[in-house]
Chains A and B, each alone.
Chain A
Amino acid sequence: MTRRGNRSEEPAHLPLHLILIAVTLVTLYPIFWVFTIAFSGKQSLAIAELPADPTTWDRIRSVIPWPADVSFSNFTSVWNDQPFGLWLLNSAIVAAATTVVGVFLSCTAAYAFSRFVFPGRRAGLMSFLVSQMFPGTLMLIPLYIILVQWLGLGSTRIALVLVYAVTAIPFCVWMLKGYFDTIPKELEEAAIMDGASPATIFFRIVLPLAKPAVAVTALFSFMTGWNEFILAATFMDKENLYTAPVGLRFFVGGFSQSWGYFAAGSIIVSIPVVALFMFLQKYLVSGLTAGAVKG
C-alpha cells in the first residue's frame, strides 16, 4: 500500500481497501452468479446440486460462483434453437432508431429552451418536468388506443421507437439545457458577427461543445429502447417482432423455468449496454452534475 501525506491528516488506506473489496465482491456477486448459471450448461438456478444430507462443504461449494462443468451449450442453444438472434436484432433496430430520434428531438428543444426567451418557455419546461410524474400505467391503455387504433401502428417497430424516443425527451432536455446554459453566449455572438446562420451555430458550434451531454443523452435514449419491456410486451404480439427483454422474460416467465437460457441471454443483452455505459461514463458524471446543478 502506498501512503502519502501526514498520517494524522489522511485516514489509513488498508481498512478502506478492505471495505471497498468487500463491497465490490457483494456488488459483483449477482453478476458472477449469472455467469455461473450461463456456463453451467443446465437450466437449474442452483450452482451445484446438493446431496440428500449436505455437509457444510457441500453448501459452501453451492455458493461459490463457478459451475461444476463449464459448458457453452446454453449460449449455442439460445443462439441456434431459440429465435434469440432475431429478438436481439429487433432490439438493436429499435434502440438505434430511438437514439437517433431521441437525440435529435432533445437537442433541438433543449437548445431553444436554453438560448431563446419566448412565451411558453417556462410552461414548456414545467410540463416536461411534470410529465416525469405521469404513472406509466395511466398511459398504457390510451397509448394502445392511439398507436394501434388511431395510427394503425400495432405490431410495428415504429410505434416502439416513437414512444421510447418521446418518453426519453424530458430527462434529456433538462440535462442538455443545463449543459447548454454553461456554454458562453459570446461564442455564438462572435459567430453571428462572422455571418454564421443559426443552423450553422447550432450544428457547428454548440453541438460539438456539448459533446459530453449529447453522449449522455444518446446513452439514455439507447438504454430506454434497449431495456424497456412492458410496452414492448403490450404492443408486440407477434413472436418474430419480440424485443430481447420480452424474449428473456419468455424464458423464465409463466411455467417456463429455463434459467440457463435466461442467464446466457442476459449476458448477451447486457454486454452492449454495459460496454456503452462504461465507455461513456466519464461524460455521465459531468453531464448529470451539470444538468442537475444548473437545472
Chain B
Amino acid sequence: MATPAGALVHGRRFAAGVAVGVAAAGLLGALALRAARDHEGLLRAERTDVVTLRALTGVVEAAGGTGDGVRKGVAAFAAQAPELAAIRVVAFEGISLEASTAAADTGDKAAPRRLDREEKDIFDRGQRIRAAVETNRQEGGARKEEIEIRPLPSGGFGFAAPVELGGNVAGLVDVVTAPVSTRLGFGPGAALAFFLVPVALMLLAWRPLGAHRHLLAAVAVAGVAAAAWLYGGAAVRTLREDRSATEAAVRERMASSGAAATAALSAAGIEAPLDPQAWDADLFRRPLAIVAPSGIDAAKSAASFELEAGVLRRIVAGLAALAVAIALFAGYGQAATLFGILRKHREAYAYVAPAMVGMSILVFVPFLYGIMLSFTDSNLYNTNQPISDIWIGLKNYSAILGDFRVVTRAQDGSWMVNFDNFYYTFFFNVVWTITNVAIGVSVGLVLALILNTKGLALRPIYRVLLIFPWAMPNYITALIWKGMFHQQFGVVNQVLQIVGFHPIAWFDRPFTSFLTALATNGWLSFPFMMVISLGALQSIPSDLYEAARVDGATKWQQFRGITLPSLRPALIPAVILSVIWTFNMFNIIYLVTGGEPGRSTEILITQSYKLAFEKYRYGYAAAYSTVIFAILLMYGWFQNRVSRGTEAA
C-alpha cells in the first residue's frame, strides 16, 4: 500500500467511509423498518378479519350450517359488520350456496341454490380447506393452513374458513372484506437523524486525530455503534406501538363482531354461547390467547412480540457491522487501492463483468446457499422457519459419513449389502466412472486409429455416422435404451432368444441393471473420445513417422514413441472432463435404471436428488451434494498434481 501524502488524508478517508457506510446502513435500515411495519399492517388486517370470520363461522355452525336460520343469521351479521363486503356460505352436501350477501347473488341467483360451474373455485377452496383440516388432524400438527387468505385486486381480502358440524368439515364460509390500506409506511424519519452522530463525531475527530489511524477507527466504530443502538431502540419502539395498535384493533373488533353475532343469533332464533376469546387465532385456528374482550395479556403479547423485535435488532446490528466494515475499508486506504485497481484495469473488468454478475447470482450464490442448507434440518415441513431455528451443525455430515454399516447380517444369518449406505453408493459410483471412461477411451481410441488409416475409403461417412450418439439429446438416448432392455418386448432379449439364451429381467439384479446403464453410457460417450483422438492424431506431422521408419522403428515402437505421447496433451484434459461428467451422469442412471433394484445402481447425484425430491429431506440432500462436490474437488486437485508431476518428469 502506498503511503499517502499528508497526515490528514487518513482523517478524510475515515470521514468519507463513515459517511458512505452510515448512508447505506440508514437507507437499508429505513427499508427494513418499512417492511416490518407493512408486515404488521397486513397482520393487523388479517387478525381483525379472522376475528370477524370466526364469529360469523360460529353463528353459521350454531345455525346448523344449512337452512333459513343460516340465511337470517348471515343477513343480520352483515348488517352490523361494515368491514365485510360480501358473505357467502356453502354447504358441501348438494354443493349448495346456503346464504349470500354478494351483490351478484340476487334475483334468480339468490341463495339457496346449487353452485354454478363458474363458481367451481369456491368449491375447490372448500375442498382444499377440508383436506387441510383433515391432514392437520391426522398428523396432530399444524402444517396446512385452515383459513385461506387471498389478496383481491379491489384492495380487500378474500377469507375462507371451514364450517364444522359434528367434528366434520361440512361447508365453507367465504367472505370478501371491504378495501383497506395495510401500508403503515416508513418509520419515524427523525430516527434516521441518529446516523448523523458518527458523521459528526468523525468531523470533530478528523483534524485532531489526523495521523492516528487506529484512534480514528475507534471513533468510527463507537459512533456507528451508538447510532445503531439509538436507531434500533427507536425502530423497536415504533414496531411495538404498531403491535399495541393491532391488539387494540383486535379487541375493538371482538366487541363489534360479538355484537353482530349476538344480533345474528337472535335473528336466527337460536340460543348459543359465544366464545370471543377463541376468535383471535392464527390461520390454523389455534387461539393466540393474547387479546380477550376484558383486556390484553401484556406478558403474552410481549413474548409474541419478542421474536419480531429480535429479528429487527439483528438486522440493525448487521447493518451497523456493514457500516463499520465500509468505514474501516475506506479509512485504512483499501478502498482507494481498490478504486485504483478498478480504474487501471477498467476495460478488462468491463468485459468480465456481465459473465461474472450472472455467475455470481445464478451459480455462486445458490452454491453457498446450498452449503448453508447442508447444516440445517430443512425439509418439506419447515421451509418457512428461519435458518437459525433449524440449524443442526454437522449432524447431516456425521449421519452420512459416520455410517459404516455397508453390510449387515439379515435375520437368517446371511450377509446383506445396505444399498442406502453412502460408502456403497460411492463405491458403485467409482466403479461406474472407471468402467465408463475405460470403455469410452478404448473404443474411441481404437476407432480413431482405424479412421486415421491413410487412404481408407468412405472415411468422412463413417466419421459422421459414428458421432450420431453424441449429437442426440442424451435423455432421448436413455429412454430409447430403457425401451430396448424391456424384459418382454425389448429387442435385446429377442436377440438373446435367437441365440438360444433365456430372456433376462435386466432390472431385477444389480449387476445386469448396471450393464444396461453401462451399455447406454458407453454408446453415448465413445464419439467424444473418438473425435478428440482423431483430431490429435491428424495433427501429428507425418515426417515424424517417416523419420522413425528410416531409423527402423517397428509399428509398435512408432505407436509407443510417437502416437501415444502426441495424444497425451489432448487426451488428458478429455479424460479429466469425462471423469467429471460421468461421475455426475444424472440422466442415464435416473432414466435407465432409476436405481433399480432397490437403489443398488444409484450413483451419488441421483441418490441426493431422490433424497431432496422424493423424501423431501432438503438439508440432508444438500449435505450429500456437498460431499459429492468435495470428492470431485479432491479428484481435481489430485489430478492436477499428477499431471503436473508427469509433465515435469
Chain A residues in the interface with B (C-beta under 8 A): 1-5, 9-11, 13, 16-17, 19-20, 23-24, 27-28, 30-31, 33-34, 37, 44-47, 56, 59-60, 62-63, 104-106, 108-109, 111-113, 115-116, 118-119, 121, 124, 127-143, 145-147, 162-163, 165-167, 169-170, 173, 198, 223, 226-227, 229-230, 245, 248-249, 252, 259, 262, 266, 269-270, 273-274, 277-278, 281, 284-286, 288-289, 292-293, 295
Selected from A119, A130, A135, A269, the residue in CB contact (under 8 A) with B625 is A135
Instruction: Point out the residues of chain A lying under 8 angstroms from B612, CB to CB.
Output: 137, 140-141
Instruction: Point out the residues of chain A lying under 8 angstroms from B628, CB to CB.
Output: 135, 138
Chain B residues in the interface with A (C-beta under 8 A): 341, 345, 347-349, 351-352, 354-356, 358-359, 361-367, 369-371, 373, 447, 450-451, 453-458, 462, 464-477, 479-481, 483-484, 486, 488-491, 494-495, 497-498, 523, 531-532, 534-536, 539, 549, 569-570, 573-574, 577, 580, 584, 586, 604-605, 608-609, 612, 618, 621-622, 624-626, 628-629, 632-633, 636
| Chain A to chain B contacts (Cβ below 8 Å), 23 pairs | A2-B455, A16-B456, A23-B447, A27-B468, A30-B481, A45-B489, A47-B491, A63-B498, A106-B355, A116-B347, A128-B359, A131-B364, A139-B367, A139-B370, A141-B618, A162-B358, A274-B468, A278-B471, A281-B471, A288-B535, A289-B535, A293-B573, A295-B573
Instruction: Point out the residues of chain A lying under 8 angstroms from B373, CB to CB.
Output: 141-142
Selected from A60, A111, A133, A285, the residue in CB contact (under 8 A) with B636 is A133
Q: Do B351 and A111 have beta carbons less than 8 Å apart?
A: yes
Q: Which 4 A-B pairs have the closest CB atoms?
A: A138-B625, A116-B348, A112-B351, A109-B355
Q: How far is the CA of A281 from the CA of B503 in the complex (A)?
A: 40
Instruction: Point out the residues of chain B lying under 8 angstroms from A10, CB to CB.
Output: 453-455
Closest beta carbon of chain B to A140's beta carbon, Å: 7
Q: Do A119 and B450 have beta carbons less than 8 Å apart?
A: no
Q: Do A134 and B471 have beta carbons less than 8 Å apart?
A: no
Specify the chain A residue showing the minimal Cβ separation from B619: A141
Beyond A131-B359, A277-B470, whether A62 also contacts B494 by CB under 8 A is: yes
Closest beta carbon of chain B to A42's beta carbon, Å: 11
Q: How far is the CA of A104 from the CA of B447 in the complex (A)?
A: 36
Selected from A2, A108, A136, A137, the residue in CB contact (under 8 A) with B351 is A108
Taking A30-B484, A63-B491, A167-B362 as known contacts, 9 extra A-B pairs with beta carbons closer than 8 A to each other, sorted by chain A number, are A19-B450, A20-B447, A27-B465, A34-B480, A131-B367, A133-B632, A133-B636, A134-B363, A270-B472
Q: Do A27 and B469 have beta carbons less than 8 Å apart?
A: yes
Instruction: Point out the residues of chain B lying under 8 angstroms from A273, CB to CB.
Output: 471-473
Instruction: Point out the residues of chain B lying under 8 angstroms from A16, CB to CB.
Output: 450, 453, 456
Q: How far is the CA of A112 from the CA of B347 in the complex (A)?
A: 8
Q: Do A169 and B358 have beta carbons less than 8 Å apart?
A: yes
Q: How far is the CA of A8 from the CA of B430 in the complex (A)?
A: 43
Q: Do B453 and A166 have beta carbons less than 8 Å apart?
A: no
Selected from A20, A116, A136, the residue in CB contact (under 8 A) with B462 is A20
Beyond A146-B361, A229-B475, whether A118 also contacts B349 by CB under 8 A is: yes
Q: Do B456 and A13 have beta carbons less than 8 Å apart?
A: yes
Instruction: Point out the residues of chain A lying under 8 angstroms from B586, CB to CB.
Output: 136-137, 230
Q: Do A165 and B523 have beta carbons less than 8 Å apart?
A: no
Task: Give the dominant DSSP class at A's interface.
Answer: helix
Selected from B352, B362, B453, B489, the residue in CB contact (under 8 A) with A44 is B489
Q: How far is the CA of A247 from the CA of B574 in the complex (A)?
A: 33
Q: Do B471 and A274 have beta carbons less than 8 Å apart?
A: yes
Instruction: Point out the residues of chain B lying under 8 angstroms from A111, CB to CB.
Output: 351
Q: How far is the CA of A266 from the CA of B626 in the complex (A)?
A: 34
Specify the chain B residue showing the minimal Cβ separation from A291: B573
Specify the chain A residue showing the minimal Cβ separation from B482: A252
Instruction: Point out the residues of chain A lying under 8 angstroms from B361, CB to CB.
Output: 146, 166
Instruction: Point out the residues of chain B lying under 8 angstroms from A116, CB to CB.
Output: 345, 347-348, 351
Beyond A23-B466, A47-B491, A162-B362, whether A245 also contacts B473 by CB under 8 A is: yes
Of A28, A135, A146, A277, which is in contact with the most chain B CB atoms at under 10 Å from its CB?
A: A135
Q: Do B489 and A108 have beta carbons less than 8 Å apart?
A: no
Specify the chain B residue showing the minimal Cβ separation from A294: B569
Instruction: Point out the residues of chain A lying under 8 angstroms from B480, CB to CB.
Output: 30, 33-34, 266
Instruction: Point out the residues of chain B lying under 8 angstroms from A109, CB to CB.
Output: 351-352, 354-356
Q: Do A142 and B369 have beta carbons less than 8 Å apart?
A: yes
Instruction: Point out the residues of chain A lying under 8 angstroms from B534, CB to CB.
Output: 285
